[in-house]
Chain A
Amino acid sequence: MNRNILKVIIPIILILLLSIKALNIGSIELSFTEMIEMLRGIDDKQYAIVRITRVPAIFVGIICGAMFAMSGVLLQAVMKNPLADPSIIGISGGASFGALLAVSLFPDLLIMKPIFALIFGVLACSIVYSLAWKGALNPVRVILVGIAINTLFNGLEDFVSYFLSAGFVMPVSTVSTGGHTSQSVNYLIIYFVLALILGFCMYKKCNVLGLGDHNAHSLGINVDQTRLIISVVAVFLAIIPTMYIGPISFVGLIVPHIGRKLVGNNHKYLILYSGLLGGFLLLFADVISRSIIYPIEIPLDIIMALIGAPFFLYMIRKGNQYVK
């Protein structure tokens, strides 16, 4: 079989297998025929529980993973830096501070958490871009300012946590694919379709930037404007999953690297392919987080860091493209 087809089919099969596994983590276990019946919508109390709690989590895992990964590809293209990911432009720090603030200010209003995450995520990356702008958008300046702003928001988060810890116990981490209704998953699917279209539309722009600013300019491309447009799409792609499951940085960081190894640096393929790999990776981490010490669910960001960090180190040690 054609190697390129295999590269697409294998992650799809793995996603399907993981989805089946994910459907069966919990007190209710379904056989294969029961699973088919449940998916066909046959009325049953057990099936209803699985449909309401587990199916949305699978969709959330796959879609959020895909969006984080695509965001990482776009940011790495814009910054021309293999270390760029959503946390670099302040989204993660801002969004997690926003979420903490919402939980502490309005402990009874859960709806405020994603709203605050969105507001502070956008606020943080607006600060990063406006401070980095100095007549032109210099990628190195964006990264340096991004690190500072992310650290600032992490500090603020610790500060708020410290003051609150005397009053009541804060959840250590709430990064999880769970707790979503099928209606909120429907919205997520709409965002995802939009993200796929917008992300794919960016491929030419990313490729032109790959030729270097000077060549892009002489092809009539406004380099700063192009960077800004791709960044806005990348922010959208990162904010939505951050709102749904919380900030996870490793997906956006490592998946583009794996994607590049498998399909190369042509963004026509890399953007969507990284989405596919990102969906797989987050679902994989989700399955582990739910099953490894069942019935306790380990926060997803912890699992992602435990998988991501060693893998990233392995890639740096093995590859030589980062140390020329």
Chain B
Amino acid sequence: MQVKNMTISYDGQKNILENFSVDIPKGQTTIIVGANGSGKSTLLQTLLKRLKPKEGAVFIDGSDIKDQKSFAKKVSAVYQQNSTIEEMSVEELVAFGRIPYQGFLKRDIDKDQQHIEWALEQTSLLEIRKSSILALSGGQRQRVFIALALCQDTEWILLDEPTTYLDMYYQIEVLELMKSIKELKDKSIIMVLHDINQASAYGDEIIMMKAGKVLYKGEPKKVINKESIADIYNVSSDIIEMPYGKIIIPRTTSPEK
């Protein structure tokens, strides 16, 4: 996925991204991090084509897909907060993922059902498929929305701070789930995360943003260091190397450079 020469602003105000370009590799988990207001969520919205750019475009395999339904067959999304519909079962909600494949009178019921079953299975929701969404905890609900994205059968899955409102158990559950999905089905995943430690442990590639620009990009073990943390977050830190990634311990808000 490529962003080329993108300029974006909200309601004609100051440009959040200006002449912005970035390449995001296929088949990997790319994690976007940055301080508040760094433009990381804007970048994700841009990749999802939710924002109209003043200039530039997003390309998937070299083509700029204009048709919204065709785009929804390539890219799905999971958000931090989701409204739900009362009295709807887990399965009914997951089935929404087939909408991009359905026309006014066109529907492949068997294929739709296959994808629903597969998505429920991957997310361990088979047992509670008939439960009402309202009866689920926040973590289970997030799993349902991941299942919905899987049911959409897209090559790319984009997640906007999917762990923000979850406790530690469900945070790890969501991240482990995304890891297994990527490995199993060769999906390409892009996530915006606030937690740099989680980004370090679960990212194949990390994009570190500040003021609408990519300051660092690459493998976490290469780009995460005291200097990059100081540049991005304006804090000094200690970094401990672990087999699964680096652990960053923030110390003060006045970094020593």
Q: Which residues of A contact B (CB under 8 A)?
A: 204, 207-208, 210-212, 214-215, 217-222, 260, 263-266, 269
Contacts and interface: CB of A to CB of B under 8 A. Distances in A.
A212 B71 CA distance: 18
A266 B148 CA distance: 17
Given A220-B100, A221-B99, A266-B87, A214 B50 contact: yes
Contact of A208 (B69, B87, B99): B99
A144 to B, nearest CB: 17
Contacts of A212: 79, 81-83
Contact size class for B?
A: 20 to 34
Interface centre among A207, A211, A218, A266 (most CB of B within 10 A): A218
B141 to A, nearest CB: 12
A266 B69 contact: no
Nearest to A207: B85
Closest 5 CB pairs of A and B: A264-B87, A220-B72, A218-B77, A220-B69, A220-B100
Given A208-B96, A217-B50, A221-B99, A263 B72 contact: no
Contact of B100 (A211, A219, A263): A219
Interface string B75-91: 11101011111111000
B66 to A, nearest CB: 12
A266 B92 CA distance: 10
Contacts of B77: 214-215, 218
Q: Is the interface of A mostly helix, strand, loop or mixed?
A: helix
A266 B100 contact: no
Contact of B152 (A204, A219, A221): A219
B181 interface: no
A124 B92 CA distance: 38
Given A265-B86, A265-B87, 7 more contacts: A210-B83, A217-B48, A217-B50, A219-B72, A260-B86, A265-B85, A266-B86
A29 to B, nearest CB: 44
Interface in B69-119: 69-73, 75-77, 79, 81-88, 92, 96-97, 99-100
A221 B68 CA distance: 7
A79 to B, nearest CB: 14
Nearest to B145: A215
A220 B79 contact: no
A222 B96 contact: no
